[in-house]
Structure 1
Amino acid sequence: MTSLLLFGASEGGLFDFDATLPLMAAQVVLLTFILNALFFKPVGRVVEEREDYVTTSRAEAKKKLAEVSKLEVDLKKQLKEARQAAQQVITEAEEDSEKLYREALALATSEANASREQARREIDTQKNQALKQLNSDAEKLGDLIVKRLLAAK
C-alpha cells in the first residue's frame, strides 16, 4: 500500500503526494515566467523610465534653478548699478539746474542793476535838464519882474 501512495493513490490524507504536485509546481513556474514576461518586465521598464525621467527632470530643474539664481544675482547687480547711474544723473541734473538758476539769477540781477543804473542816469540827466530849464525860466521870470518893477516906477 505504501507503494501505491507514492504513485498517486490516495487514501484521503492531509497531504496527497501524487502527480499533481509537480504539475502544480510546473504551472507556478510557468505562470511566473509568463507573468514576468508579459506584465512585470514592461511595468518594471515603465517604472525605471519614469524614475529616469524624474531623476533627469530633477537634475535639469536643479541646473535651471542654479542658472536662475545666477541670473537673479546678475540682474540685481545690474539693477543696483542702474539705480546708482540714475541717481548720479539726477544729482548731475540737479546741480546743472542749480547752476543755471544761479547764472540766470546773476544775469537777471546784473541786468536789473544795469537797467536801474541807466534809469538813474536818465533821471539825473532829465533832472539836470529840468533844473537848467527851471534856472533859465527863473532868470527870465526874475528879469521880467525886475523890468516890470523898473517900468512901474
Structure 2
Amino acid sequence: MTQWILFAAETAEGGLFDIDATLPLMAVQFLLLAVILNALFYKPLGKAIDERAGYVQGQLNSAKEQKQKSLALVQQYEQELKEVRKQSQEIIAEAQTEAQKIVSEQSQQAQQEVIAERQKASEQIEMERKEAMSALEQEVQALTQQILEKVLGKEFA
C-alpha cells in the first residue's frame, strides 16, 4: 500500500487540485480507514452503548413496576387501616354501652338493696316500737295497780 502512495506521489505533477491517481487512492484509504475504525472501535462501542441503554431501560421499567406495586400496597394498607379504625370505634362504642349497662344494673341493684334494707329497718323499728309500747303498757298497768293498791288499799284491787 505504501508503494501505491509513493507511486502516486511520484506521478503527481503538482497543482492544488490536480486530479490524478491520488484522489481515488485517498478515497480508498479513507474508506479502508472507516471500515477498520468501524470494526475495531465503533461497533463494540455502539454495542456497549446499546447494552447500557437496554439495561437502563430495564431498570426504569422495573422501578415503574415496583412503584406501581408499592402504590397499590399503600392504598391497600390505607383501606385496611380505615377498616381497623372503624372496627375499633365500634368495639369502643360497644364497650361503652356495655359499661353503661353494667353501671345502671349495679346502680339499680344497689338501690333495691337500699330499699330492702330501709324496709327491713322500718319493720324492725315498728316491731321494736310495738314491743316497747306493750312493755310500757304492762309497766303502766303494773304502776297503776300499785298506785291503786297504795291509794285504796289491797281490798279494791
Segment drifting more, 126-135 vs 34-43:
34-43
Partner of 2:67: 65
Q: In structure 1, what is the equivalent of residue 142 of structure 2?
A: 140
Higher mean alpha-carbon deviation, 45-54 vs 67-76, is at 67-76
TM-score, normalised on structure 1? 0.79
Q: For 2:150 and 2:39, locate their aligned partners in 1 and report how far apart those are by CA, in whole Å.
A: 157
- Corresponding residue for residue 44 of structure 1: 46
Q: How many residues align?
A: 146
Corresponding residue for residue 104 of structure 1 = 106
- 4+ runs of 1 displaced by more than 3 Å? 15-27
Is the 8 Å Cα contact of residues 9 and 18 (structure 1) preserved in structure 2?
A: yes
Provide the C-alpha distance between the structure 1 equivalents of 2:25 and 2:66, rounded to a whole number of angstroms.
58
* AA partner of residue 92 (structure 2): I
Paired with 2:47 and 2:77, the residues of 1 have a C-alpha distance of 43
Q: Verify the 8 A CA contact 2:9 2:22 in the aligned structure 1.
A: no
Q: Is 1:6–1:17's contact at 8 Å kept on the other side of the alignment? A: no
Question: Is the Cα contact below 8 Å between 1:8 and 1:17 reproduced in 2?
Answer: no
Q: Which runs of 5+ in 2 are unaligned?
A: 1-7
- 2:35 is matched with 33
Quote how far apart the aligned CAs of 1:103 are.
0.8
CA contact (8 A) 1:7 1:18 kept: no
**How far did residue 132 of structure 1 move?**
1.3
1-structure distance, mates of 2:12, 2:67: 73
Match of 2:3 in 1: none
Distance (whole Å) between structure 1 residues aligned to residue 40 and residue 49 of structure 2: 15
Unpaired runs of 5+ residues, structure 1, are: none
Give % identity.
36
> Per-residue CA shift, 1:74-118, capped at 9, x if unaligned?
222222221221111111111111111111111111111111111
RMSD of aligned residue pairs (Cα, Å): 2.5
Closer, same or farther in 2 for the Cα pair 1:14/1:22, shift >3 Å?
A: same
> For each residue in 1:39-72, what CA deviation from the matched residue of structure 2 results, as whole angstroms up to 9, or x when unmatched?
2222211211121122222222222222222222
**Partner residue in 1 for 2:58:** 56
